[in-house]
């Protein structure tokens, strides 16, 4: 009880300092504040996102206490909050004596150096700071460090490194599990991401946000049935969690449970009847179950409300493509690209349509756009290489796949495709190199080589290698 009373009077004292400072600035009079009071005033403004006022308070404090290292450090921190790391470094240089023992100085310096782009140096500074940080403040410090690396160049692996350090020190802090799960998801390590989400939920089984994020991770890991289950947990905890309702419909559609997905999308539309994207997804479900006329009807309804709704234009183009209405489909794809020229899915669908209709020159040109927009679209790279091969330019096909393998050096499909095209070009030595590379990773996937270039069955060196390594 006494502790709460002390906290109350501390808050009152801070409010009094702020009020006195506000009164001073309005009247243009001078009033004395000690360093601690100025720090409290600055903190008050920072916490209320009034950075200009915080900067003014810090400057006023330095007029009274020009030698105060603490206020110089506060000035640096304010400049960081404004995104002005160069100014922050100048202020840090004015209180460098703090670097020997003050962990707040080191944390501030680490953030500033990271903002400048020197991640390696920032990492060393943060590691030095962690030795000095009191145990009761380690959690907040680790989250600050993780935020720094996540927000400056997306250095997710470094953020993970420090979050793991935090978890090692505080294994009972559930928030470390949550942040690690998010970051592993960001780098595509879904196995670890899912594991950390489950550990987080072990601490808080009734966390709607935990189950929701788990659903997102399952969906990205293409485990759609489990994603549906996760969203069901969210809805059991919060029946008005409409994002979970919408995402459940998406997961059902991804799991090819289209009729169920349509039902859930319609539930969502009962609440948000103006959601054009939900209407579009219903149309896409009808497209997937080959109810093309129903899909067209929905896409046309959407376009009556918004004639520039790209997804509906794209949907109509897909339907026309399936109905062999090639020229109409191409026109619609081009219309969609005029609205959104950087959507790789639209470019890919147009390229696939050109390929399907043996217009290989147009297909190659279009697929080149896809891989420029999305360097990790395996299907696009493979189709692009196949297209140039159709144009009797196998050297170009090999060049394309070599570009792809630069982005995805361990992708088995790209590796075996390279092997197949090298075999086709007559370069058996290089073809065998790529085949052996793939074979050490996944023997079963080697059938891709035979699918791309069936004539490899007649290559003696390859058959001997397979026979010896089965």
pLDDT tens digits, 115-150: 988 999 999 999 999 999 998 999 999 999 999 999
- Across the chain, mean pLDDT equals 92
pLDDT of residue 308: 95
- Which of 61-65, 168-172, 229-233 comes out lowest in average pLDDT? 61-65
Fold of 1-100: 1.25.40
d(CA 461, CA 469): 12
d(CA 104, CA 145): 12
Task: Name the residue with higher pLDDT: 469 or 231.
Answer: 231
Is the pLDDT at 11 greater than 50? The verdict is: no
Angle ∠(303,307,310) on CA atoms, nearest 5: 85
Residue with tokens 């790789």: 344
d(CA 292, CA 285): 10
d(CA 245, CA 267): 8
Do the beta carbons of residue 387 and residue 363 sit within 8 Å?
A: yes
d(CA 356, CA 343): 20
Task: Name the residue with higher pLDDT: 154 or 76.
Answer: 76
What tokens appear for 293 in the block? 């006329």
DSSP secondary structure, 264-314, as one string? HHHHHHHH-TT-HHHHHHHHHHHHHTT-HHHHHHHHHHHHHH-TT-HHHHH
* pTM for the whole structure: 0.78
pLDDT of residue 19: 84
In the chain, the percentage of residues whose pLDDT exceeds 90 is 75
Residue range 148-163: average pLDDT? 90
Task: Name the residue with higher pLDDT: 2 or 135.
Answer: 135
pLDDT tens digits, 267-284: 999 999 999 999 999 999
d(CA 162, CA 302): 48
pLDDT tens digits, 422-465: 999 999 999 999 999 999 999 999 999 999 999 999 999 999 99
Is the pLDDT at 12 greater than 50? The verdict is: no
Sequence-distant (6+) residues with CB within 8 A of 164 are: 180
pLDDT of residue 15: 66
Angle ∠(237,241,243) on CA atoms, nearest 5: 135
pLDDT band (50, 70, 90) for residue 7 = very low
d(CA 329, CA 320): 5
Do the beta carbons of residue 119 and residue 155 sit within 8 Å?
A: yes
d(CA 461, CA 85): 61
What tokens appear for 438 in the block? 């793939």
User: Could you state, in order of their start, the residue ranges of all structural domains in the chain?
Assistant: 1-100
Residue range 299-322: average pLDDT? 97
Is the pLDDT at 3 greater than 50? The verdict is: no
Is the pLDDT at 10 greater than 80? The verdict is: no
């Amino acid at each position: 009880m006494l502790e709460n009373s002390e906290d109350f009077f501390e808050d009152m004292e801070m409010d009094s300092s702020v009020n006195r400072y506000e009164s001073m600035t309005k009247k243009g009079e001078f009033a004395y504040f000690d360093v601690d009071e100025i720090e409290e005033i600055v903190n008050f403004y920072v916490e209320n996102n009034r950075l200009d006022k915080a900067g003014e308070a810090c400057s006023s404090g330095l007029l009274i206490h020009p030698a105060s290292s603490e206020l110089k450090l506060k000035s640096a921190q304010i400049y960081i909050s404004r995104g002005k790391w160069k100014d922050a470094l100048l202020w840090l240089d004015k209180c460098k004596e703090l670097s020997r023992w003050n962990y707040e100085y080191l944390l501030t310096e680490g953030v500033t150096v990271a903002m400048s782009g020197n991640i390696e140096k920032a990492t060393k500074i943060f590691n030095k700071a962690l030795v000095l940080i009191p145990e009761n403040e380690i959690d907040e410090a680790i989250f600050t460090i993780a935020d720094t690396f996540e927000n400056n160049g997306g250095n997710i692996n470094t953020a993970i490194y420090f979050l793991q350090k935090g978890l090692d020190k505080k294994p009972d802090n559930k928030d470390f599990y949550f942040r690690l799960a998010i970051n592993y998801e960001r780098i595509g390590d879904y196995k670890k991401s899912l594991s950390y989400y489950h550990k987080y939920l072990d601490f808080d089984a009734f966390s709607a946000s935990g189950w929701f994020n788990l659903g997102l991770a399952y969906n990205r890991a293409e485990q759609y049935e489990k994603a549906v289950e996760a969203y069901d947990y969210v809805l059991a905890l919060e029946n008005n969690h409409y994002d979970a309702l919408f995402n459940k419909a998406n997961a059902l559609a991804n799991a090819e449970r289209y009729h169920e997905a349509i039902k859930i999308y319609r539930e969502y539309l009962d609440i948000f009847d103006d959601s054009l994207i939900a209407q579009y997804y219903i149309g896409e479900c009808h497209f997937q179950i080959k109810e093309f006329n129903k899909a067209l009807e929905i896409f046309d309804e959407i376009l009556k409300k918004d004639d520039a709704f790209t997804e509906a234009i794209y949907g109509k183009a897909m339907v026309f493509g399936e109905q062999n209405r090639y020229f109409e489909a191409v026109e619609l794809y081009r219309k969609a690209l005029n609205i959104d020229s950087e959507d790789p899915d639209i470019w890919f669908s147009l390229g696939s349509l050109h390929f399907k209709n043996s217009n290989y020159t147009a297909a190659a040109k279009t697929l080149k756009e896809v891989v420029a927009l999305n360097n990790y679209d395996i299907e696009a790279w493979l189709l692009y290489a196949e297209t140039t091969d159709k144009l009797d330019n196998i050297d170009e096909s090999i060049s394309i796949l070599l570009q792809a393998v630069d982005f995805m050096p361990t992708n088995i499909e790209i590796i075996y495709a390279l092997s197949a095209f090298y075999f086709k070009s007559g370069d058996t030595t290089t073809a065998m190199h790529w085949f052996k590379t793939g074979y050490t990773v996944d023997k079963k996937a080697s059938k891709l080589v035979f699918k791309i270039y069936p004539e490899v069955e007649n290559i003696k060196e390859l058959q001997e290698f397979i026979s010896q390594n089965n």
